[in-house]
Amino acid sequence: MNPFLTLVAKLFRDVRWSLLFSVASLFALGWLFVYVTSLNESKIRKDLAAPPGQNRRADMMREMGMTEESASVAIMMGSWNHPFIVLVIAIWAIGRGSSAVGAEIERGTLDLVLSRPISRTSYLTSQIVTSLVGLLLIALSLAAGAVVATHYNVLSSPPGIGVLSRPALNLAALGLPIYGYTLFFSAIDHVRWRATMIGSMLTLAGFIARVVAVIPVFKEASWRPWVDQASIFKLYNPVDAVTTREFFSFDVAVLCGVGAACIGLAYLVFATRDLPANG
């Protein structure tokens, strides 16, 4: 077998349990969010059945233009912003990025791998292919769980896989820059913990910046636009991905661009750096 494909197969064997756990977790969450959406729709239909003036909640929903045929997928997408979903993507991206180079040097296995007929570029590419395929599978499992759940829960407008694939792609794209900058720090270091720490700190800082930017009390603050624009989490918008799609293409393109730039820097650094003789 081709050495590159052999290495990719080995990497998938190494991460099979963490990948399976991540996929199963988001599949279950996708199912759960459909169930919750079904309950919400039942409540909405019950409220809207009340005559005008007898149910304040129903009157407010009518003023907002909400009807019994409100798009199920738009309601469901509010749940896709749950921090646990972002956490699963971030853990996979940071874990795979930090282990690509630093962990192999730390374990003393990188010399052995590169002593085989495989170049540094091919080695790093195998790491990237494994990680990005895993990232896409994890994101799509959320959509798959939702699609399967629509066959067991009543929704007024059940979404198909084509509709849900857009926010899933946006979610996978969110993980790309997280993986990219963690990979870059792994490529310049010789231990895993530093790349993990830096990647985690940058990701947490970006998430906190996004949370702070949407707090109403800071709405008029002069620094708010700068903080908001500095966070990659601003570019993850599942509701827009299934409704107007006004920013969907731009958001995905920027996330992929940032991730690709970081991966490119990792290639450059890894190709030119000195590796420990007994790493």
For 274, which DSSP code? P
* Domain chopping of the chain, boundaries: 3-35+71-272
**DSSP codes of every residue in 219-255:** TT-TTHHHHHHT-GGGG--HHHHHTT-SSHHHHHHHH
Instruction: Return the closest-CA partner of residue 153 out of 31, 25, 26.
Output: 31
Asked whether 171 and 89 are in contact (CB, 8 A), the reply is: yes
For 152, which DSSP code? T
pLDDT for 15-54, tens place per residue? 999 999 999 999 999 999 999 888 877 766 565 555 555 5
Compute the half-sphere exposure of residue 86: CA atoms within 13 Å on the CB side of its CA.
Answer: 21
Instruction: Return the closest-CA partner of residue 160 out of 142, 141, 143, 137.
Output: 143
pLDDT of residue 260: 98
Backbone φ and ψ of 156, nearest 5°: -70, -35
pLDDT for 68-90, tens place per residue? 444 567 778 888 988 999 999 99
CA–CA gap between residue 122 and residue 12 (Å, rounded): 16
For 276, which DSSP code? P
Q: How many CB atoms lie within 10 A of CB 12?
A: 15
pLDDT of residue 61: 46
Asked whether 41 and 75 are in contact (CB, 8 A), the reply is: yes
In this structure, of 46-50, 220-224, 242-246, the range with the lowest mean pLDDT score is 46-50
pLDDT at 171 over 90: yes
pLDDT at 62 over 60: no
